[in-house]
Amino acid sequence: MGIEYFQILLFINFFFLSVALLVVYHYAYKLRSELRRSDNLRKIAEKFQALFHSTTDGVFQCNRTGRIIVINQAGGRMLGFNSPDEVVEGGYRVNKFLMNPLIQRSVVKKLLLGEKINNLVIEAKRIGGEMFFVEVSLNFCKYDDEKIVEGIFRDITRRIEIENQLRTYSERLEEMVKDKTREVIRLEKKKRQMESLASLGEMAATVVHEVRNPLSSIKISLTSLLKRKNLDKKDQLSLKLATEEMSYLEKVLQDLLNFSRPKDLKLIRQDINKVIVMTLGQLTQDFERANIKVKNDLAPEMPLVAMDMKSMHQVFLNILINAKQAIGRGGEITIHSEYNPNKDSVLIDIIDNGKGIDKKHFDKIFHPFFSTKKEGTGLGLAVVKRIIDAHGGSIDIESSIGEGTKVHLEFPVD
Ligand SMILES: Nc1ncnc2c1ncn2[C@@H]1O[C@H](COP(=O)(O)OP(=O)(O)OP(=O)(O)O)[C@@H](O)[C@H]1O
Ligand SMILES: [Mg+2]
C-alpha cells in the first residue's frame, strides 16, 4: 500500500512536471519567435531608416498644426538646418517654408477635401533667409486616429535657373531669327528694287540717249533763232521761254540718268572738306544773289575718306540747292564737319534756316519723284541717298516747319 501510494504520487508529480515543462517550452518557443520577429522588424526598420535618410528628396510628416514631426536628412538640409533633429526639436512649422499665404490657404483647402497636391512649384525660404524654388507633393492621411500631412519636396532652383536661361536663349534666338528674316526681306526688296532700277536705268539711258541729241539740236536752233534781229517782242519772249524749258528738260533727263543708272564709283581716299569747299565755290554767286550767308565751320583737319569725287560733289550740290530753295531770299546756311574718333567716322551737318519740312512729308522726301516744288523732279534726295548708301554712309534729316532743316551725314573712315 505504502509503495503504491508513493508510485501514484510520483506519477502525478511527473505528470505536472511534464505539463509545466510543456508550458514553459511553449512560452519559450513563442518568446523566441517574438524575439526573432522583433529582430526582423528592427532590421526592416533600420533599412527603411537608412533609405529615408539617404534619399536626395526631402521627406517629412507634419501634424495638423503644421509642425514637422519627422523629416529626413535631405529635407533638414534643404530647410537650412544641420540635422533633422534640429527641425523636429525646434518646432519648425511648414508655413515658414510654404510662405505665400494664398498658396497655403489653397493647399490646406485641397488637402481637407482629400485631394493630393502633386508637383506644386513654389518659392520657399530657408531658415537663413535664402530663397529657393521647390517642387512639393503633399498628402493628408490618418495613423491611429492621428491626422498627418506627408510631404516630399525637391530643390529645383538650379532647374528653374536653367529653364530661365534656356527661355532667354530661345527668346534671343527668336529675336535673332526675326532680325535675320527682316534683313533677308529687306535685302530681297532691295535686290528687286535694284533689278527694276537696273532695267529702268537701261531704259532711261536709251531714252536719254535718243532724246538728248534732238533736244540739243532744238536748243541750238532756238538760240540761233533768238539771235535774229527782226523778231518782235512776243516771238522773242516765246523763244526765250522755250529755251528755258529746254534747259529744264535737260536737267530732268540728267537727274533721271543719275538716279536710275548707278555710277561705277571710283573710290579714292581724299579730304571731304575739299569737295564741300569746291561745291560751295560753285554756288557762291547763287547764294550772293539770294542774299544767303554761308557759315563755314569745317574741321581744320579731317582723316581721308574713300569716295567718288563726282558723286560726292552731286551729294553736296543737291543738299545745298535744297537749302537755298528752302530759304528763298535772305537767310543762312551753316556747314559743319568733324571727325568722330569713337566711331572712326566723319560727320557733316548742313543746316539752313529755311521754311523746313512738313511732318506729313517726312517719310517721302527720299522717294524718287516726290517734290513739293513747282519745278522739282523729286530726284535730288533720292540720288543723294543712293550715293551715300554706295559709300557705306548714312543720312539723317531733322527739320521743323518755319525754323529750318539739318541734314546730318556720316561716312566711315577706312
Ligand atoms: N532743306 C530743305 N528744306 C525744306 N524742304 C526740303 C529741304 N530739302 C528737301 N526738302 C523737301 O524734300 C523734297 C524732296 O527733295 P528733293 O531734293 O528730292 O527734290 P526736289 O528738290 O523737290 O527736286 P529736285 O531736287 O529733283 O530738283 C523737296 O521737294 C522739299 O519738299
Ligand atoms: Mg532738290
Q: Write the pLDDT tens digit of every residue in 54-79.
A: 889 999 999 988 899 999 999 999 99
307's CB contacts (< 8 A; 6+ apart) are: 265, 267, 268, 269, 270, 272, 275, 391, 411
268: domain CATH number is 3.30.565.10
CA 398 – ligand 1 centroid, Å: 13
Q: Which residues share a beta bridge with 335? A: 296, 350
Are 290 and 365 found together in one domain? yes
Domain tally, the chain: 4
Predicted pLDDT at 81: 94
99: domain CATH number is 3.30.450.20
- d(CA 24, CA 291) in angstroms, rounded, equals 137
Are 1 and 73 found together in one domain? no
Q: Is 365 in the pocket of ligand 1 (CB under 6 A)?
A: yes
Q: Which of 365, 377, 386, 401 to mutate to test the pocket of ligand 1 (most atoms within 8 A of CB)?
A: 365
Between 144 and 171, residue with greater pLDDT: 171
Ranking 85-99, 127-141, 289-303, 356-370 by mean pLDDT, the lowest is: 85-99
- d(CA 401, CA 57) in angstroms, rounded, equals 71
Query: Does residue 28 register a pLDDT over 60?
Result: yes
Q: What are the backbone angles phi and psi of residue 340, rounded to the nearest 5°?
A: -105, 100
Alpha helices in 290-350 (DSSP H): 309-327
Are 388 and 268 found together in one domain? yes
The residue nearest atom 5 of ligand 1, judged by CA position, is 357
Are 212 and 325 found together in one domain? no
Are 111 and 24 found together in one domain? no
pLDDT band at 247 (very low <50, low <70, confident <90, very high): confident
E strands, 191-342, are 268-270, 292-297, 305-307, 331-340
* 325, 373 Cβ separation under 8 angstroms: yes
CA 98 – ligand 2 centroid, Å: 71
Model-level pTM?
Answer: 0.55
Are 271 and 389 found together in one domain? yes
Are 366 and 267 found together in one domain? yes
Q: Is residue 169 part of a domain?
A: no
Are 248 and 270 found together in one domain? no
Are 144 and 223 found together in one domain? no
Q: Is residue 175 part of a domain?
A: no
Q: Is residue 389 part of a domain?
A: yes
Q: Is 317 in the pocket of ligand 1 (CB under 6 A)?
A: no
Q: Which of 332, 373, 409 to mutate to test the pocket of ligand 1 (most atoms within 8 A of CB)?
A: 373
pLDDT band at 262 (very low <50, low <70, confident <90, very high): low
Q: The domain containing residue 282 runs over which residues?
A: 263-412
Q: Which of 322, 324, 361, 379 to mutate to test the pocket of ligand 1 (most atoms within 8 A of CB)?
A: 322
Are 240 and 269 found together in one domain? no
Q: Is residue 186 part of a domain?
A: yes
Q: Is residue 48 part of a domain?
A: no
Are 407 and 298 found together in one domain? yes
Decide the pairing of beta strands 345-352 and 404-412: antiparallel
Are 34 and 140 found together in one domain? no
